[in-house]
Amino acid sequence: MGLGQLKGYLGAASELVWPRDCAGCGAPHQALCPECRLELLGPVTRREQDAPRLVPADGGPSLPVWSSAAYSGVVRAAIVDWKRRGRAELDREMLRAVARTAERAAPGLAEALDRLQASMLVVVPIPSRLLARIRRASAGPPALAVAVAEALVGWGLPARPRRVLARRTGRPDQSGLGLHQRAANREHATRVVGRPGAPVLLVDDVLTTGATLLDAERALSRAGAATLGAIVLAVTPAPAGPSRSPGQVS
Ligand SMILES: [Zn+2]
């Protein structure tokens, strides 16, 4: 074995033993450094006001979305790295973040369940596009949903994860369609493939405009299921700045 080959083997072995540099800031020898972890595990707040599509024009109530981080800076870098490069040690960090958010959101969810006189919450991951699923190397929303359900059960709220949503495939060609038709096309991108049988909590990695969550909520509603809210890892900050309605719960 040549020296170069030996170095190659040692390099590959060290990748297995020692985590690579921090996915957020690049600090050496740790999957996520303490400073970046603090950013990911920020205060758990309601952040739906940052997603323009989730704020009804008529001033009615919007779907509550709980998260502990803004999708910017080191958090954005860490989530992108987690999705694209599938670092197993980052799975733990991301699952822990949503589990913590679920514990903080649990009292509000329990109240909402009581109001509906329901005794079980179904935790549903937002389905990814096929291409995103193929490219994705990490655990993804289904694993986040399992972590959320486990945290809620640990808190004392009966919950179980279920994959009842799928994305429609074979969307018609968008070219030649007007703006309105394109929007309508996007709006019905989610379909219900299983009966939730209980009120739903949606789980996704990142919330941007809220269009995907809204589409999922509407699809569930057409199938007769109520959506109580959503938990996401991080929320893209509104252009105006940080959340206008903190509604902090921790
Ligand atoms: Zn870092």
Residues 6+ apart with CB under 8 A from 149: 123, 159, 160, 161
Q: Please give the distance, rounded to the nearest whole angstrom, from the Cα atom of residue 101 to the centre of ligand 1.
A: 21
Q: Please give the distance, rounded to the nearest whole angstrom, from the Cα atom of residue 24 to the centre of ligand 1.
A: 5
- pLDDT tens per residue across span 53-93: 888 777 778 899 999 999 999 999 999 999 888 777 899 99
Q: Please give the distance, rounded to the nearest whole angstrom, from the Cα atom of residue 99 to the centre of ligand 1.
A: 21
Long-range CB pairs of 14-23 (<8 Å, 24+ gap) are: 19/87, 19/89, 20/87, 22/78, 23/77, 23/78, 23/81, 23/82, 23/87, 23/90
Q: Please give the distance, rounded to the nearest whole angstrom, from the Cα atom of residue 201 to the centre of ligand 1.
A: 31
Q: Please give the distance, rounded to the nearest whole angstrom, from the Cα atom of residue 246 to the centre of ligand 1.
A: 25
Write out the residues surrounding ion ligand 1, Cβ under 5 A: 22, 24-25, 27, 33, 36
Q: Please give the distance, rounded to the nearest whole angstrom, from the Cα atom of residue 128 to the centre of ligand 1.
A: 27
pLDDT means per 10 residues, the chain with 250 residues, are 58 54 93 96 94 81 94 96 84 96 97 95 91 74 96 98 88 59 69 93 95 94 94 89 48
Q: Please give the distance, rounded to the nearest whole angstrom, from the Cα atom of residue 73 to the centre of ligand 1.
A: 10
Q: Which domains does the chain have, with CATH numbers?
A: 32-170+178-235 (3.40.50)
Task: Give pLDDT, residue 250.
Answer: 45
